[in-house]
Amino acid sequence: MLKVKEGEIHKLGLLYERYKKRLFGFFYQMNKNASLSEDLVQNVFIRVLKYKHTFHDKSKFITWIFQIARNEIYDEFKKAKKENHNDLETVSYFLSSDKNIEGDLEENENKINLKKAIAKLSPEKKELIVLSKLKELKYREVGEIVGCTEGAARTKVHRALNDLKQIYLTLENA
């Protein structure tokens, strides 16, 4: 990345190859929309070039790029909200009649419920689970990305998973 910062833009290709899957995965988990996620990955790298001067050799690249990715997805949420005033209703409609969920009747009920539970989880919590599942990211880095301390990040991840469990259990009992 430092080389990219110094002007060797073609080196960005290496970074792209290294991080494209993880970034795509992150976006996909957050919005379940493959083509939108692809666009967001593209946007992340445009931002990387635009803000390359803000990258310091002390910072870890993965942390930095996920901070960008996070901003990207929040901008996207805002945009979607502006464009769609019936956001909440649409979301709930999509959730209840999700084709994938309905089509997966053969899958066991647990899995369906789990999917529903995740879909109900707030983006902030979902994001924490997605990030902490990345092998490269420890609590410290997750904290850096979402803007809190290592300890707070740990608590948040725990809480997110507990919430997921709670939602799941409610769905199961319903």
Partner 1 sequence: MDYKEFENSIVDYLSENLSTEKNKEFEGFLKANPEFQKEFNLTKSFWNESLEEVPTPSSKMDMDFYSMLKAEEEKANQVSMITKIQNFFSLKLVKQFAYTLAILTIGFFVGNWFNTSDNLSEEKIEVAQKETQDVRSQLVLTLLDQPSANKRLQAVNEVNKLNKVTKIIIKALFSTLNKDENVNVRLSALEALKKYTEIPLVREGLISSIANQTSPLVQMELADLMVVLQEKKAVKSFEKLIDKEDVNTSAKQKMKESIQSII
Residues that bind partner 1 (CB under 8 A): 7, 9-10, 12-13, 16, 20-21, 24-25, 28-29, 32, 34-35, 37-38, 41-42, 45-46, 49, 111, 114-115, 118, 129-130, 132-133, 135, 138-139, 154, 157-158, 161, 164-165, 168
Phi, psi of 140 (to 5 degrees): -60, -45
CA distances from 58 to 2, 63, 70 (A): 10, 11, 20
**Shortest distance, CB of residue 173 to partner 1, whole angstroms?**
15
Q: Which is nearer to partner 1, 132 or 145 (CB)?
A: 132
| Residue 81: CB atoms within 10 Å | 11
* Exposure string over 7-30, b if 16+ CB within 10 A, otherwise e: eeeeebeebeeebeebbbebbbbb
Q: Least Å distance between CB 144 and partner 1?
A: 14
In the complex, minimum distance from the CB of residue 25 to partner 1, in angstroms, rounded to a whole number:
4
Report in angstroms how near the CB of residue 38 gets to partner 1 at its nearest: 4
- Nearer Cβ to partner 1, position 13 or 81? 13
| Separation of alpha carbons 27 and 157, rounded Å | 18
